[in-house]
Amino acid sequence: MKPFRSFPLLALFLALVPLVPPANATDAPAAAPLDQHTLDKRTAPILKDLKLGDDPLAAKVRAVLDLHFQALTSWHAANDATLNALWSEWAAARGTPNKDEAAAAKVGEKIDAVYATFRPQHDALLAALAPLLKPAQIDAIKDTLTKSPGLQRTYEAYLEMIPQFTAADKAFIRGKLTVAREQAMDAITNKEKADIFKRQKVQVQAYINAHGYDYEKSYAAFVEKQKTSTAKAPQKD
C-alpha cells in the first residue's frame, strides 16, 4: 500500500482540479448535486472490485470518487445536449447505404473537442488516486467504469475471431481499446461508452482489412461459431 500524503485529501483534490467550464458555458443549465445514496451506488462497484474492505484507504478513495462523480454529472448536464446532437450526426454519417467514414471522422473531431474540456478533471482524478493506489488498482477502476463493453472482453473477442494476429496486430488493437477505455471513463451512460469504444473499433476494423485479414469474412465465421460457443463477438461496426 502506498503512503498517502499528510495534507487533507479534499484539499489535495480541489487543488488539482481547476474549475472546468462547460464547452457551452453560457447556455449551461445548473446540475443538482448527487445525493449520497446515488454516489454510493456509483462508488460501490469500484470499491468492491478493489477489494479494499473497511480499510481506511477505502474512505479516502471514496472521497476522491465522490468529488469526481459530482464534477462529471455537472459537466454532462452542461454538455449533453451538444454531445447527443454530435453523436447522432456521427451515427447518421455511418448509416447505410451511404456510409461516409470521412464525414464521420470530422464529426468525431468535434466530439473530441467537447470531451477535451473535461480533460483537466479527468487528469485530476488520476492524480488524486496516484498517491493512494497502485497503478494496477487504478487500471481496475478504469475497467470497472467501462465494463460495458470493456477493454479486455473486446480484445479477447478479436483474438478469438482472428487467432493468427501477429504481436504487432495485437499491440495495435489493445492500444486502440486502451484509448477507448480512457475516453469512456468520461461517459455516464452505457450507450455513450459503447459509442466511444465503437469509434476506436472502426479504426480496428479498417486496420484488419488493410492487413489482409478480411474483417467481414472473419466476423461472419466468428458469429457462426458463437452459436455453439459462449464467446461473445465484438459488435460489428
Mean pLDDT of the chain: 88
DSSP conformational letter for 87: H
For residue 59, the tally of other CB atoms under 10 A from its CB is 12
pLDDT reported for residue 234 = 72
pLDDT in tens, 43-85: 999 999 999 887 899 999 999 999 999 999 999 999 999 999 9
For residue 24, the tally of other CB atoms under 10 A from its CB is 13
Q: How far is Cα 47 from Cα 164, in angstroms, rounded to an integer? A: 37
CB contact set of 215 (below 8 Å; sequence gap of 6+): 205, 208, 209
Per the structure block, which three cell numbers stand in for 210? 488493410
DSSP conformational letter for 26: G
pLDDT reported for residue 72 = 97
Strands (E), the chain: none
Q: How far is Cα 72 from Cα 87, in angstroms, rounded to an integer? A: 18
Q: How far is Cα 37 from Cα 44, in angstroms, rounded to an integer? A: 10
Q: How far is Cα 145 from Cα 231, in angstroms, rounded to an integer? A: 22
Backbone angles phi, psi at 38, to 5 degrees: -65, -40
Distance of CA 103 to the CA centre of its chain: 23
pLDDT in tens, 135-175: 999 999 999 999 989 999 999 999 999 999 999 999 999 99
pLDDT at 4 over 60: no
Which residues in 164-200 are b (16+ Cβ under 10 Å) and which e? ebeeebeebbbebbebbbebbbbbeeeebbbbbbbbb
Q: How far is Cα 144 from Cα 44, in angstroms, rounded to an integer? A: 10
pLDDT reported for residue 167 = 98
pLDDT reported for residue 13 = 52
Per the structure block, which three cell numbers stand in for 230? 459462449
Q: What is the pTM of this model?
A: 0.84
pLDDT in tens, 173-229: 999 999 999 999 999 999 999 999 999 999 999 999 999 999 999 999 998 888 876
Distance of CA 206 to the CA centre of its chain: 21
10 or 202, which is more confident:
202
pLDDT-based confidence at 97, cuts 50/70/90?
A: confident
pLDDT reported for residue 149 = 93
